[in-house]
A and B are shown apart, each in its own frame.
Chain A
């Protein structure tokens, strides 16, 4: 279980951006799945990339390219419009083919269904 929590930026199929922000995340566990929720404000759905490879899940949100004619005249700046990127070592505790993701109000939710190996298994006690 702790494996899932560990996350380390590493070069994967989703290329690690040169400059990026690590999104804040919540990880929760339900009976049949793990859920990762990541804050990615300002990212469009088409710019989200979620990939699973070699037991590692990587999520990436590409920030809009600033192709504005002129730089905005900032009076105060606390955050930078930057790519979001984070990876998670998941191992084989999830069914990689059933991973699903959706974006709502700037929050990316990734559902990782547990593989049968880690699902709680009911063992029937037989009467003799």
Chain B
């Protein structure tokens, strides 16, 4: 868990319902059967690795590539989503919502990568509503041996 650090950006005022929703939306390990994935105001994230790279995957349904801003400062990866639902829909006027569960707000999440130095290169793509960021691990730091002479 040390891998991820949450950063409010911009610092949001305390919202009791959001905190509650977030708590309710927390995945429960080993739970069989249905559980809700209703909007928790949080980008659901998985991180896995292999020898070559770290892979950060986020669920971003309905988000277009141009609405995503991925940036990297050192070993800190920030994903910013500026998503406005039904912005381009002409028929918005006669549309009336009977129920709303999906996120339509902007979201930001920062992840501290467990790397010593910045990744070699970064690739990001969106497929079927999953954002995948591949961060290639830097070359391991070479250990420099220093011979110790005996002083006489």
- Determine if A26 and B128 form an interchain contact, defined as CB atoms under 8 angstroms apart: no
Chain B residue, CB-CB nearest to A109: B62
**With an 8 A cutoff between CB atoms, is B64 at the interface?**
yes
Of A5, A24, A80, most B-chain CB atoms within 10 Å: A24
- Determine if A41 and B96 form an interchain contact, defined as CB atoms under 8 angstroms apart: no
Min CB distance, B150 to chain A, in Å? Answer: 46
- Determine if B47 and A76 form an interchain contact, defined as CB atoms under 8 angstroms apart: yes
A77 and B50 in contact (CB under 8 A), knowing A19-B32, A26-B99, A30-B95? Answer: no
Complex alpha-carbon distance, A106 and B54, angstroms: 23
Q: At the interface with chain A, which of B7-15, B35-43, B71-79, B136-144? A: B35-43
**With an 8 A cutoff between CB atoms, is B108 at the interface?**
no
B contacts with A: majority SS: loop
Q: Provide the residues of chain B in CB contact with A85, threshold 8 Å.
A: 34
- Determine if A39 and B37 form an interchain contact, defined as CB atoms under 8 angstroms apart: yes
A29 is contacted by which of B34, B98, B130 (Cβ under 8 Å)? B98
Number of B residues near A (Cβ < 8 Å) is 42
**With an 8 A cutoff between CB atoms, is A54 at the interface?**
no
B59 is contacted by which of A44, A73, A76, A79 (Cβ under 8 Å)? A79
Min CB distance, A30 to chain B, in Å? Answer: 5
Min CB distance, A49 to chain B, in Å? Answer: 16
A selection of 23 A-B contacts at a CB cut-off of 8 Å is: A1-B98, A18-B32, A21-B37, A25-B101, A27-B99, A28-B96, A39-B59, A41-B60, A41-B61, A41-B128, A42-B128, A43-B128, A43-B129, A72-B48, A75-B3, A75-B54, A75-B114, A76-B47, A77-B46, A78-B44, A79-B27, A106-B62, A107-B62
Interface residues of chain B, those whose CB is within 8 Å of chain A, are: 1, 3-4, 27, 32-39, 44-50, 54, 59-64, 91, 94-103, 114, 126, 128-130
